Amino acid sequence: MSSFHKKNRRIIWVISILVVLTLVIAVGSIIWAGLLGNRHYAFMLGAGVWLFILSLATLIYAAKFLQLQNEKFEEYMSIQLALISMIDLKDPYTEGHSINVRNLSRNFAEFLELPSKEIEEIAQAAELHDVGKIGIPDHILKKPGKLNVEEFQTIKKHPILGSESIKKLKGFEKIQKTIRHHHERIDGTGYPDGLHGPEIPLGSKIISIVDAYDGMIHGRAYRKALSENETLRIIESEKGSHFDPGLVDSFLKFLRTRTGNLDYDLVCGMSFKERNLPILHIYQEQKYWFCSEVCRNEFQQFPKKYIETRAKDRI
């Protein structure tokens, strides 16, 4: 959503410039009226007063516009957090996994020096990549053993379900596409659409690697956790078949050098620096910044959960 804030900033700057110019012209007209004397006084004074009123009306409009945009953003954040909460309620395992994949995907995208807008979209898609599992029956989703063929066909529907669940949300078009294709494989044997290498969105390729990495490191309901060396060996062995070779090489390099960018909202993963007025919250004498009241309220309810996530990113 960084583009959301940048667009607002541009609009506000334009309105501010117009207001200043209008005020200058208004004051100039009034002064000029006084200098010209009685002949043109009424006309110039009237023009100056009307311009002054116009500038005040523009200022009021700008304030109202900013208020409406902030309300719109708060509503958007409420929707996203509601979706995330639904994932957490469906499968407690997914909670930590979604946050881990979001943060690691964001940091990896920053390491790749992608545009800020694309980084934000990848981070959001990463956090919501498993939202489609809300539609998967519990006996399949939480099954401790290996899935049978029929069950696996059901679980393979979750990228489509996730993509469809946010289809009607304005501004989520790229995120929707990224979620749909995060289980595609470079060799074309993935799902749901069997896309090949260049057909797969970059964000989906990134999330695919990070998703697999976090899943193996922390384990699944049906598989115990692996060591980092084992995990990286598996990922590297699947270059060119499952994962994009260039991205795997970059990911391995990234893991050796990562420090974690902490300039983001702990709750939603968005960069608070892109916010017009980031919201400050002090907890245990530490300062935390948030992009919205919704995120700050969420943090106030579960501070330890999000602070522990930040601690992981310092590794």
| pLDDT cut 70: percent of the chain above it | 71
pLDDT band at 2 (very low <50, low <70, confident <90, very high): very low
pLDDT tens string 235-270: 999 999 999 999 999 999 998 876 555 566 777 666
> What pTM, to 2 d.p., does this model score?
0.70
238's tokens: 């699947």
Please give the C-alpha separations between residue 311 and each of 96, 153, 198, 307, in angstroms, as whole numbers.
13, 37, 35, 6
Instruction: Please state, as a whole number, how many other Cβ atoms lie within 10 Å of the Cβ of residue 223.
Output: 12
Classify residue 80: in a domain, yes or no: no
pLDDT at 1 over 70: no
SS3 of 5-51: HHHHHHHHHHHHHHHHHHHHHHHHHHHHHHHHCHHHHHHHHHHHHHH
Same domain, 247 and 274: no
Instruction: Please state, as a whole number, how many other Cβ atoms lie within 10 Å of the Cβ of residue 258.
Output: 16
Residues 6+ apart with CB under 8 A from 37: none
Classify residue 189: in a domain, yes or no: yes
pLDDT band at 90 (very low <50, low <70, confident <90, very high): confident
- How buried is residue 222: exposed, middle or buried, by Cβ count under 10 Å (0-12/13-18/19+)? exposed
Average pLDDT over residues 132-150: 87
Cα–Cα dist 280/260, whole Å: 21
Cα–Cα dist 2/117, whole Å: 6
Same domain, 152 and 250: yes
Same domain, 163 and 255: yes
Cβ pair 22, 56 in contact under 8 A: no
Same domain, 21 and 111: no
CATH value at residue 109: 1.10.3210.10
Give me the domain span that covers residue 311.
262-315
Classify residue 168: in a domain, yes or no: yes
Task: State how many domains the chain has.
Answer: 3
